[in-house]
Amino acid sequence: MIEFESVTKRYPDGTVAVDGVDLRAESGEITVLVGPSGCGKTTSLRMINRMVEPTGGRILVDGADNTATDAAKLRRGMGYVIQHAGLFPHRTVIDNIATVPYLLGWNRAKARARAMELLDRVGLDAQLAKRYPAQLSGGQQQRVGVARALAADPPVMLMDEPFSAVDPVVREGLQDEFLRLQNELDKTIVFVTHDIDEAIKLGDKVAVLRTGGTLAQFAAPKELLSRPVDEFVAGFVGKDRGYRALSFTPADGITYDPEPAVALGASAEHARATARDGWVLVVDDRQRPQGWVDVGRLTSEVTPELLHRGGTVGSVTGSLRSALDAALSSPTGRGVMADDDGRLVGAVSTATVLALLDPPTSDAAGGNGGGTTGNGRSNGGSGRGGHDTGSTTGAPR
């Protein structure tokens, strides 16, 4: 656990980069620091491993003031990942990853074995081991950067915009893999980004900083989206946060409509008799949804070529967003929902999902929150209504 107690950093030229910040990064969690450029994110991160010393307040690592630990020793327990990976250009990938083990005096064979293991862990082919960083794509370089930071298995990882330099598609892949990795590794991670979507996606807790280095809000993503404390945070998390907040609301409050289905190979008569509004759902022999068939196109039996693909199947143990995505992506408007084994549970309409969004209690909570933005924004009728209208009248996604 890492705690900031009224931490301030005033650089010698008088710039106050961080101003009286209190926050706590729990062990085994991802704590994200997010905010516009210049708001003190990097400075905050560097004070944790003492690359920068605070001018006020203190930072505790597992309860002990970090200035009590020798800086070099402190850093060995904290992997550090930066934008553009910061790899050594004249060292091969494997030697880059083994940097810290070498420094720690591991023998070469052991350090390299560990490096190869990590290469695999971060999803890179063993063949890349002998390449130089310039021979890798940006996304591959970032993975090597993560592998290098993990090499000595430090309990803490400090990550400064590690994925910001790669394009959005690659970035999403890196984020997904990073979350998968963290699931296995359970590190205490402090992650810096300027990208609010990345913060919301990765953070167990998110600290929103504002220019001047003050903490605007420190909360779980869901709370940040549903109850921004002020205009700054509200503006920063974005107007469509009502829609994004769906990702954090479980779908378990939904009552599903039964959706009759047929198997591949079913006769055209049977499919027509089962269909509703001209479409029938097709499942495999284990009741797993395969797609919809337009019975108007049926001549003989239900074949794979007739399946309308591209719709998403929602998970009943997933979020409301997965249910809404399923409904919005279904040619019938009936979102197909499945259990954890992929078996059909039933269907849900867009209207059903949206009806769950604005229960009276959420209005009341917003009102009680009493913030100038709490009420008007957190019930967010306009944002969500607007999004829904746009999507349902537009092409299925």
Beta carbon nearer to Mg ion, 42 or 142: 42
42 binds ligand ADP (CB under 6 A): yes
Buried b (16+ CB within 10 A) or exposed e, 141-155: bbbbbbbbbbbbebe
42 binds Mg ion (CB under 5 A): yes
327 binds ligand ADP (CB under 6 A): no
Using CB under 6 A as the binding criterion, the count of chain residues that bind ligand ADP stands at 11
133 binds ligand ADP (CB under 6 A): no
Instruction: Give the Cα separation of 156 and 3 in Å (integer).
Output: 13
Whether the Cβ atoms of residue 32 and residue 201 lie closer than 8 Å to each other: no
Instruction: Give the Cα separation of 374 and 173 in Å (integer).
Output: 34
Q: How far is the CB of 51 from ligand ADP (least distance, A)?
A: 11
Give φ, ψ of 105 to 5 degrees: 85, 15
Per-position x/- string for 13-32, each x denoting binding to ligand ADP as judged by CB under 6 A, each - no binding: x-x-x---------------
Which among 40-48, 275-283, 285-293, 294-302 is the span making contact with ligand ADP, rule CB under 6 A?
Answer: 40-48
56 binds ligand ADP (CB under 6 A): no
The one among 3, 29, 41, 379 contacting ligand ADP by CB under 6 A = 41
**Residue keyed to tokens 């949804």:** 289
Which among 18-26, 33-41, 182-190, 235-243 is the span making contact with Mg ion, rule CB under 5 A?
Answer: 33-41
Instruction: Give the Cα separation of 183 and 49 in Å (integer).
Output: 24
Whether the Cβ atoms of residue 139 and residue 174 lie closer than 8 Å to each other: yes
43 binds ligand ADP (CB under 6 A): yes
Q: How far is the CB of 26 from Mg ion (least distance, A)?
A: 23
193 binds Mg ion (CB under 5 A): no
- Residue 17's alpha-carbon distances to 55, 60, 67, 205, 213, in angstroms, are 11, 19, 20, 22, 5
Q: Which residues bind ligand ADP (CB under 6 A)?
A: 11, 13, 15, 17, 37-43
